[in-house]
Structure 1
Amino acid sequence: MIGLAQLLRQYQPDLRSQCPMEDRHHWALQNIIDCHSSACGEMVFQCKDCRQDQHAYHSCGHRSCPSCQHQANNLWLDRQRQKLLPVEYYMVTFTLPSQLRGFVWHHQRWAYQALFKCAVETLMSFGHRDKQLQGDLGLTGVLHTHSRRLEFHPHVHFIVPNGGLSKDKHRWQQKHGKYLFNGRALAKVFRAKFIDTMKQHGFSVPNTTPKQWVVQCQHVGKGDAALTYLARYLYRGVINEQNILKHENGQITFRYKESNTKQWMTITEPAVQFLWRVLQHVLPKGFRRTRDYGFLHGNAHKTLKRLQLILRVKLPEQTTAQRKKTERLCPCCGHPMRVIPFVKVRQTSRLRTIN
Structure 2
Amino acid sequence: MTVPLDLQQLMRKHFPRLAKSRALSGDMHRAAWCITHCRTREMGGHVNSCPHGHFHQVAYNSCSHRCCPKCAWLAREKWLDGWKARLLPVPHHHLIFTIPHSLNPIWRFNKRAFADVFFQAASQSLMQLLGSVDYMGARPGILAALHTWNQKLDVHVHLHVLVTAGGLTENGTWIVAKKKCLLPRKVLMTKFRGKFKALLKEAFRNGKIKLPPGWTINQLYALLYRLSEAWNVKVFDAYEGGASVVTYLARYLRGGPIGNSRLLQEGDGRVVFRYRLSELEGGDGKRQGVTSLPTDTFLMRWLEHVPPRRYQCVRGFGLYSGNQHSDLVQAHQALGSGYDGSVQEAKTWQELCDAAGMDEACRCPACGSLLVSHHSFQPGRSPPSSAFVTRNLGQIA
TM-score (norm 2): 0.78
CA contact (8 A) 1:2 1:242 kept: no
Moved over 4 A (4+): 44-54, 326-332, 334-338
Structure 1 residue runs of 5 or longer lacking an equivalent are: 347-355
> 1:335, 1:177 → 2: CA distance?
50
Q: 1:338 to 1:17 in 2, by over 3 A?
A: closer
Q: 1:223 to 1:189 in 2, by over 3 A?
A: same
> 2:366, 2:16 → 1: CA distance?
40
Q: 1:320 to 1:208 in 2, by over 3 A?
A: same
State the one-letter code of the partner of 1:283.
P
User: Which of 322, 325, 335 pairs up with 1:311?
Assistant: 335
Q: How does 1:260-339 map to 2 (within 5 A)?
A: 260=279, 261-262=283-284, 263-300=287-324, 303-313=327-337, 321-323=346-348, 325=350, 329=364, 339=374
CA contact (8 A) 1:41 1:57 kept: yes
Higher mean C-alpha deviation, range 126-135 or range 104-113:
126-135
| 1:293 to partner: Cα distance | 1.0
Deviations 1:251-281 (A, max 9, x none): 1111111242232122212111112222211
> 1:47, 1:91 → 2: CA distance?
44
> 1:236, 1:319 → 2: CA distance?
25
Q: 1:122 to 1:48 in 2, by over 3 A?
A: closer
Structure 2 residue runs of 5 or longer lacking an equivalent are: 210-216, 352-361, 382-397
| 1:216 to partner: Cα distance | 1.4
> 1:228, 1:164 → 2: CA distance?
22
> 1:137, 1:344 → 2: CA distance?
46
> 1:302, 1:25 → 2: CA distance?
35
State the one-letter code of the partner of 2:36.
I
TM-score (norm 1): 0.86
CA contact (8 A) 1:145 1:152 kept: yes
CA contact (8 A) 1:44 1:55 kept: yes
Question: What is the RMSD computed on CA atoms of the aligned residues?
Answer: 3.0
Residue 85 of structure 2 corresponds to residue 82 of structure 1: yes
State the one-letter code of the partner of 1:35.
C
State the one-letter code of the partner of 1:8.
M
Residue 377 of structure 2 corresponds to residue 342 of structure 1: yes
| 1:239 to partner: Cα distance | 0.9
CA contact (8 A) 1:35 1:58 kept: yes
Q: 1:218 to 1:52 in 2, by over 3 A?
A: closer
Partner of 2:234: 216
Number of residue equivalences: 342
| 1:119 to partner: Cα distance | 1.2
Deviations 1:35-84 (A, max 9, x none): 00011113246789989974321111111101113221011112221122
Residue 222 of structure 2 corresponds to residue 207 of structure 1: yes
Partner of 1:23: 26
